[in-house]
Amino acid sequence: MQLSRSHTLASPLFRKILLSAFVLILATVGSADFLMTRYTEQRELELVQQDLELVGQIYRERLSGLTAEQVEDWARKADGQSGARVTIIGTDGAVLAESRRERGSMENHAQRPEVRSALKGGTGVAKRHSASLGVDFLYVAEPARTGDGKGVVLRLAVPLARVNESLRAVRWRILRASLALALLALIAAYLYTRTLTRRIRNIQSYAEGLANERLSEEPELAEGGKDELGALAGSLRGMARQLRGMVELLRVESERREAILSSMKEGVLAVDEELRVTFCNEAFLRAAGAAAEAPDHKPLVQLARNPGFLSLLRQVLASGDTVRGKLPLAPASGRSFEVYAKPLDQGAHRGALAILHDITEVERLERVRKDFVANVSHELRTPLAAIRGYAETLLDGALEDAEHNRQFLEIIRSNAIRLTNIASDLLVLSAMEQDRAEQEPAEAVEVQSVVEAALRTVESAARVRSVALLIEEQPGLRVRGQRFRLEQALVNLMDNAVKFSRAGATVKVESGMTTEGMVAIRVSDEGIGIPSEDLPRIFERFYRVDKARSREAGGTGLGLSIVKHIAEAFGGTVRVESELGKGSAFTLTFPAA
Amino acid sequence: MEELQRRLLEMGGLVEAAIHGSVQALAQRDGEAARQVLESEERINRMEMENDSLTIGLLSRAGTDAGGLRLLVAAIKINHDLERMGDLAANIARRALTLMEEPPVKPLIDIPRMAQLAERMVGQSLDAFVQRDAALARAVLADDDEVDGLRDSIYQELARFMQEEPGTVPRALNLLFVARNLERIADHATNIAEDVLFLVEGIDVRHTG
């Protein structure tokens, strides 16, 4: 990541480091400068003082050879030679000679500090404003003697202005050097701080990226220094790798869970204590007939209003027990559900979990099975009762009744035939189920020949009822399955068609390919048709639309059930269309062989 | 406000179940279902009163905005419509109990269809209320005509039965009442749908043809 300069300057860390570096550098360089200057000044003054002392040494020698009268002239000459002001002061403080002024105008010098030191026998040094000349002077005074043995004080002085001038030049040089040094240090500090800040910035933004879960987008952290920051970056990278791994793991896990829940046929619903939806899967939304949208803590009533369901969940929440129930979730849909609801403890959040199992189909099958058992016994009992009844009548004496006995025996026989038919149809059905379980070998069956064979079977019955049979077929169609089963299915359909046709009507058998490449065989009649409310149930065993009429026509109530089983064994389907009074059409559809 | 809406929906669920139960009692001669409907009628009536006092409490609260006021007004009406539907379902259940004692006049075809339609209208009007769905509410309004048509054909058919076979008159009259009750349930569902439109779009669609 490249930071702009202003960006770097805006960084508080950068500013802090730079500011302290700045203060530190200035303080160091400043005090160094100050000390250097002081030292140099001192040195310079000392040098000047030493010079003066040296000159004083020479002058003292000279002075010892002079009389008091010569002193004044000498002083002026000496000043001219050395450039140092020469003053000679008597022990009483009176100025005896002065190189730069008239002696008479000078006041008593006994109280001057340098003079006082010299009078006590030492060397006096002072830096002071000269009251006599109005300039800053460095004075050095020493005791001396004139030629006539009189004790005096020899005082030499140089104007400080001269010293100061040379000092200023030195000071300025030192200052320049200090400034250059400070500048260099500042630049170095700036560059170092900038690099440091950038590296920290990089690590920071990388860590922010981690925190914001932009794990996959974030480019790899480029930081690779060998210092602590480099190590920090290294551990961050390691952490990111681990995080990425964990997030990926969680994502996969939650996706898997989501996939499992949404692909479940069972509706799953989780609610909190106030019956707000915390989770539900698609199956639940379908079951509730609700528009598919994220529930997002909505009250459950907005999805499902069924009072039974609501009170069941309330019961679970109140009692903390698992509750089961059967109820319709949306009464209008006509579907019923088995609900299994249990309390859900998620730490502080209590709630309930409900699993809904659609038992509409189970209940329907249950009903079909119950009906079947009831029907079988009923179907068997009716002919058996007739046979028994007529047999008893015959035994009771009707056997001798030449007029009726034959008729009774006919009835017994026809009922026995019905029983046989029922038994054989039931056998066919159970054999079909057996077949499906055992995967009977299938062969390619030519449809045309099967239709013709079926036709021969029902021909006589059609002739008796004067129903015309019309075949329209496409040659060369083949399906996979067992030949005799297909023939049975066609016979059943054609037989039904003939039975429910009026005299003079036509039964049509058509075969051909559908647009989807399936083989379709259609048997249609112009008979009485089937009421629409019966249509969904006619393929059930023993289901009869018109019980009396069907039985009279000799049906067992199993024919269409057998057709459906056969169609399914062939991997196909059977469909019915019918209009009351206009006729029915059954279409068998099979995959082509 | 949310509590009120939640309670209305719960009451709606009870009413839906009552209507379903009453028709089931009629069509399948299920006495247990009829008795349950009669029981739930009391609960529905209780809920109506509770909802009313809740609504009045909310109304007297200051600072309700225009949308909130509209919801409260709609809530009062929906509450009343639901309660009436509960009563009508109870009526059907009572007729069903009477009819159970005698053989059926005829196989029921149109009445279950009408019931199914009315049930759907009630469900959809409540769904429209939940989702503030104006389009769904309009669909409910459109269905009402079909219910009226079915009622007319049931009237004619039953009238024919009564003329042909005077013995069926008491039973046919009961069925006639059932048809009338169903038609009125559908009317109340229509009212709710209108309230939803008022709520969503702020328009009044009543009495506009």
Give pLDDT tens digits along chain A (593 positions).
Answer: 444 444 556 678 788 888 888 898 889 888 988 898 888 888 888 888 888 888 888 888 887 877 777 777 888 888 887 778 888 888 888 888 888 777 777 778 888 888 888 888 888 888 888 777 777 888 888 888 877 777 888 888 888 877 777 778 888 888 888 889 889 988 998 888 888 888 888 888 888 877 776 655 555 666 666 788 888 888 888 888 888 888 889 989 989 988 888 888 888 888 888 888 888 888 888 888 766 565 577 888 888 888 888 888 888 888 888 888 888 777 666 788 899 998 887 666 788 889 988 888 888 788 777 877 877 787 788 788 888 988 888 888 877 877 788 888 888 888 888 888 888 888 887 777 666 656 666 788 888 888 888 888 888 888 888 888 888 888 888 888 888 888 888 888 888 888 888 888 889 899 888 888 888 899 998 888 888 777 878 887 777 776 666 666 667 778 888 888 888 888 888 989 888 888 889 998 988 87
What residues contact residue A256 under an 8 Å CB cut-off, 6+ apart? none
Q: Which of A290, A305, A330 sits opposite B10 (nearest CB)?
A: A305
Q: Band of the pLDDT at B136, cuts 50, 70, 90?
A: confident
Q: Which of B13, B17, B20 sits opposite A301 (nearest CB)?
A: B13
CB contact under 8 A, A299 and B116: no
A39-166, which class in CATH? alpha beta
Of A1 and B17, more confident = B17
**What is the distance in angstroms between the Cα of B95 and the nearest Cα belonging to chain A?**
21
Give me A359's structure tokens: 């038992």
Q: Beta strand pairing status for A518-524 and A478-481?
A: unpaired
ipTM of this predicted structure: 0.79
What residues contact residue A58 under an 8 Å CB cut-off, 6+ apart? none
What residues contact residue A361 under an 8 Å CB cut-off, 6+ apart? none
- What distance lies between CA A214 and its chain's CA centroid? 9
Query: Residue B101 has what pLDDT?
Result: 83
Q: Is B123 within 8 Å of chain A by CB?
A: yes
Give me A75's structure tokens: 């002083």
Query: Residue B84 has what pLDDT?
Result: 93
CB contact under 8 A, B17 and A306: yes
Query: Residue B209 has what pLDDT?
Result: 46
Burial of A68 (0-12, 13-18, 19+ CB in 10 A): middle
Domains of chain B (ranges; CATH) run: 2-201 (1.20.58.220)
Length reported for chain B: 209
Q: Which of A291, A307, A533 sits opposite B17 (nearest CB)?
A: A307
**Domains in chain A: boundaries:** 39-166, 264-358, 360-439, 440-591
Residue of A nearest to B132 (CA): A302
**What is the distance in angstroms between the Cα of A455 and the nearest Cα belonging to chain B?**
38
A360-439, which class in CATH? mainly alpha
What residues contact residue B61 under an 8 Å CB cut-off, 6+ apart? none
What part of A 128-147 touches B (C-beta under 8 Å)?
A: none
Q: Which chain A residues touch B40 with a CB distance below 8 Å?
A: 307
The full 3-state SS of A23-74, as one line of letters, equals HHHHHHHHHHHHHHHHHHHHHHHHHHHHHHHHHHHHHHHHHCCCCHHHHHHH
CATH number, domain A264-358 = 3.30.450.20
Q: Is A533 within 8 Å of chain B by CB?
A: yes
Helix (H, G, I), strand (E, B) or coil at A583: strand
Q: Which of A291, A305, A308 sits opposite B126 (nearest CB)?
A: A305
B73-80 average pLDDT score = 90
**What is the distance in angstroms between the Cα of A349 and the nearest Cα belonging to chain B?**
21
CB contact under 8 A, A331 and B12: no
**What is the distance in angstroms between the Cα of B183 and the nearest Cα belonging to chain A?**
17
CB contact under 8 A, A299 and B9: yes
Answer yes or no: is pLDDT of B200 > 70: yes
CB contact under 8 A, B13 and A328: no
Q: Is B13 within 8 Å of chain A by CB?
A: yes
A440-591, which class in CATH? alpha beta
Residue of A nearest to B131 (CA): A302
Sign of CA dihedral A242, A244, A247, A252: negative
The full 3-state SS of A121-143, as one line of letters, equals CCCEEEEEECCCCCCEEEEEEEE
Q: Which of A290, A301, A331 sits opposite B9 (nearest CB)?
A: A301
CB contact under 8 A, B119 and A299: no
Query: Residue B88 has what pLDDT?
Result: 92
**Fold match, A264-358 / A360-439:** no
